[in-house]
Amino acid sequence: MDYFRPQSASSAVKIVDPSTQNDRYPKSGPKDSVQRQCRNVMIYGSCKFQDKGCTFYHPPSDPDASRAEEALSASVNINAPVFVPKSSADTSSPTLASLTPSSPPPDVSHAYSENGTAEVADQMQGTHIYDDNYAAQFDQGYYAAQPVYTRAPLDYHLYSGPLPSAFSPASADIHFMPSSASIRETLQTRSELIRSVNPSAVQLPEELQGYHSLSPLETVTVTTERRKFGNWYSTVYKAINSSDGGAYALRRIESYRMTQQSAFAPIEAWSKIRHPNIVSVCEAFTTRAFNDNSLVVAYTYHPNAQTLFDVHLKPKGTHTSHHQHQHWYAPGRGTARGPNRNTQSTGLSERTIWSYVVQIASAIRKVHEAGQAVRTIEPSKILVTGRNRIRIGSCGLVDVLMHEMNQDMAVLQQEDFIRFGGLILVLCCNNAAASAPMNLQKSFDLVERAYGADLKNLIAFLLGKASAQKLRQLFDLLSSRIATEMDDALDAVDRLEGELMSELENARLVRLMAKFGFINERPEFARDARWSETGDRYIIKLFRDYVFHQVDEYGNPVVSLSHVLTTLNKLDAGTDEKIMLVARDEQSCLVVSYKEIKTCLESAFSELAGSQQTKAKEVYRGGG
């Protein structure tokens, strides 16, 4: 780690602990108190108790040595004053002096006893354990007391890592969460997709009922088959809402002519349904912006979502429409089997299937309890929005399109269960045609062989006869699976909290950088063109160089993010650690603690911020 300027050209000297530099002090000897040098001498220069019972080594005062030291510093022309900031703004970091108890327990003294621990003594260095109060207790068995470890308060500012978990290491995937590295990649991709625009976004309206920047969510070319929603041609766009700046998914139904306003009633009901396994419905409107009569329903946008069909059923490596591919496929527990192994998606694991089952069942319950029917339980309308997370999409649309048919809601709800059973069958068999009547027997056999009787019984129950109690019975069947699902969901929450923990400290570093930006190189302030270069601000400028502009021995920039993070963390904490700041011309240097630099930064920033507030008040008074 090279953070230094060439010594030859600099007047700066390395700052070291005097005890390691000065040969006058004997090296720490054996644990014999007579050999060990008295700390009062090291810290204060002398010991009041030298001839009054202190058994430690007291070196004879040597006037020649101190003269030699003075001569040395004069000969190298060291200009390293210890900086004292002009203002004494309070910093949040506790001072070591303030941590020293006013009447320390006698046991602390054992730090230097013969049979005490040198480690404890080392930890206590600098906490004035040899001050007069302590020394006053010498006669009361000071050296003989039992050791008690005094815990120093944790300087929590310097710790920001996630909590390590032996049971769920961040590098491992868990049911609802990928590894720590993948989750970052996933979130980056989503963030990028929210801003990206599909290149095929041509000839789209610039503005649509308060939405702009429309971009199709599927690549449409002249060769691709036009997508249909039932009997209607349909396209999904991502668009930005002007009022809240958020991204939404707009599903457009082409050539739809609305006959009565009441067709929108289901949308109103759906917009009140919020559930983690349902893509929320926001609003619906008709428009002529596409040069036809279109119906548009706005949904929550889930970046990088893919349909269940695309994820599990679509043959890999083909770009043709999925409707053309309906290969028969033998399922397996997490592995692909059967003739189309090389082109088809791999079979779903039983855990994933049960997870999907519980999520869809939960969504159905919410919708039925709200007096609606889902109606879109099919692979091409259910979105996979995260690891093993699914959401039923396109809700409410069928209700608008079929409004005039006035169908019985109880019948529609029973149909939900049948669609649900069909969907599980399709996913288990990895074949979109698995639920077709002529394939049913074969599909059931496959499910039983590959996944067990529980799943087969569940599908049979869902496809079986209608009952008003079906929802309750379904949840009775699922009770143990729901418990597993909840355990996994809570594990994911724990993992996410761990991830959040590691990001918690980011904001304070950004705040610091922002303050540097406000102060450094400011052209003029308070009619002083050199404001940013003088006074406390000079220290800030030198510190900025120390953090960002160091060079190695060959003059190459030292670009080390860890150096930046470490130094900024220490600055934010305002530690007592001292560093040496060197001017660019290397003619002068300052020894200054992070705490003092923090004080400078705070004072310069409040000067700027304060003047802004004063100005605002003046303007306000003038206006009033």
Ligand X SMILES: Nc1ncnc2c1ncn2[C@@H]1O[C@H](COP(=O)(O)OP(=O)(O)OP(=O)(O)O)[C@@H](O)[C@H]1O
Q: By C-beta, is 232 or 538 nearer to ligand X? A: 232
Binding mask 235-264 for ligand X (x = CB under 6 A): -x------------x---------------
How many of the other CB atoms lie within 10 Å of CB of 303? 19
Q: By C-beta, is 80 or 395 nearer to ligand X? A: 395
* Contacting residue, 279, 429, 592, 604, with ligand X by CB under 6 A: 279
Q: By C-beta, is 294 or 307 nearer to ligand X? A: 307
Rounded CA-CA distance 174/561 in Å is 31
Interface stretch with ligand X, choices 66-74, 82-90, 376-384, 525-533 (CB under 6 A): 376-384
Interface stretch with ligand X, choices 295-303, 343-351, 441-449, 507-515 (CB under 6 A): 295-303
Q: By C-beta, is 170 or 313 nearer to ligand X? A: 313
Q: By C-beta, is 41 or 308 nearer to ligand X? A: 308
Q: Per rule CB under 6 A, is residue 611 in the interface with ligand X?
A: no
Rounded CA-CA distance 337/345 in Å is 10
Q: Per rule CB under 6 A, is residue 362 in the interface with ligand X?
A: no
Q: By C-beta, is 227 or 522 nearer to ligand X? A: 227
Q: Per rule CB under 6 A, is residue 332 in the interface with ligand X?
A: no
C-beta of 374: minimal distance to ligand X in Å? 15
Q: Per rule CB under 6 A, is residue 224 in the interface with ligand X?
A: no
* Contacting residue, 281, 305, 390, 573, with ligand X by CB under 6 A: 305
Place of tokens 């994911």: 492
Per CB under 6 A, which of residues 89..118 are in contact with ligand X? Answer: none
Q: Where are the beta strands (DSSP E) in 122-216?
A: 207-208, 211-216
* Contacting residue, 80, 240, 357, 383, with ligand X by CB under 6 A: 383
Q: By C-beta, is 164 or 199 nearer to ligand X? A: 199
Torsions phi, psi of 313, nearest 5? -110, -25
Q: Per rule CB under 6 A, is residue 301 in the interface with ligand X?
A: yes
Rounded CA-CA distance 427/347 in Å is 8
C-beta of 240: minimal distance to ligand X in Å? 13
Q: By C-beta, is 236 or 519 nearer to ligand X? A: 236
Q: Quick one: the chain helix, strand, coil %, rounded to 5?
A: 45, 10, 45
For the chain, what is the total number of helices (H) and then of strands (E)?
19, 12
Per CB under 6 A, which of residues 440..469 are in contact with ligand X? Answer: none
DSSP result, 290-303: TSS-EEEEEEE--T
Among residues 546, 539, 489, the alpha carbon closest in space to that of 519 is found at 539
Rounded CA-CA distance 354/137 in Å is 71
C-beta of 198: minimal distance to ligand X in Å? 11
Contact status, residue 289 vs residue 208, Cβ threshold 8 Å:
yes
Q: By C-beta, is 398 or 539 nearer to ligand X? A: 398
Q: Per rule CB under 6 A, is residue 313 in the interface with ligand X?
A: no
Between the alpha carbon of residue 6 and those of residues 13, 41, 543, 555, 563, the distances in Å are: 11, 35, 18, 9, 19
* Contacting residue, 40, 359, 380, 575, with ligand X by CB under 6 A: 380
C-beta of 307: minimal distance to ligand X in Å? 5
Rounded CA-CA distance 517/116 in Å is 51
Rounded CA-CA distance 298/286 in Å is 11
* Contacting residue, 241, 307, 355, 376, with ligand X by CB under 6 A: 307
Q: Per rule CB under 6 A, is residue 401 in the interface with ligand X?
A: no
C-beta of 299: minimal distance to ligand X in Å? 4
Q: Per rule CB under 6 A, is residue 277 in the interface with ligand X?
A: no
Rounded CA-CA distance 203/201 in Å is 7
Q: Per rule CB under 6 A, is residue 302 in the interface with ligand X?
A: yes
Q: By C-beta, is 107 or 283 nearer to ligand X? A: 283
Per CB under 6 A, which of residues 179..218 are in contact with ligand X? Answer: 217-218
Interface stretch with ligand X, choices 32-40, 202-210, 379-387, 501-509 (CB under 6 A): 379-387
C-beta of 396: minimal distance to ligand X in Å? 13
SS3 of 483-508: the string is HHHHHHHHHHHHHHHHHHHHHCCHHH
Q: Collect all residues with Cβ–Cβ distance below 8 Å to 340 and sequence separation of at least 6.
A: 315, 327, 328, 329
Q: Which residues pair with 215 in a beta bridge?
A: 238
Interface stretch with ligand X, choices 20-28, 170-178, 304-312, 461-469 (CB under 6 A): 304-312
C-beta of 195: minimal distance to ligand X in Å? 14
Q: Per rule CB under 6 A, is residue 395 in the interface with ligand X?
A: no
Q: Collect all residues with Cβ–Cβ distance below 8 Å to 507 and sequence separation of at least 6.
A: none
Count the alpha carbons within 13 Å of 448 in the hemisphere toward its beta carbon.
Answer: 10
Terminal C-alpha separation, the chain:
60
Q: By C-beta, is 192 or 218 nearer to ligand X? A: 218
C-beta of 226: minimal distance to ligand X in Å? 9
Q: By C-beta, is 297 or 547 nearer to ligand X? A: 297
Exposure string for 473-510, b = 16+ CB within 10 A, e = fewer: ebeebbeebeeebeebbebbeebeebbeeeeebeeebe
**Dihedral angle computed from the Cα positions of residues 329, 332, 337 and 341, in that order, rounded to the nearest 10 degrees:** 70
Q: Collect all residues with Cβ–Cβ distance below 8 Å to 13 and sequence separation of at least 6.
A: 76, 78, 80
- Please give the residue ranges that form the binding site for ligand X (CB under 6 A): 217-218, 227, 229, 234, 236, 249, 279, 299-302, 305-307, 309, 380-381, 383, 393
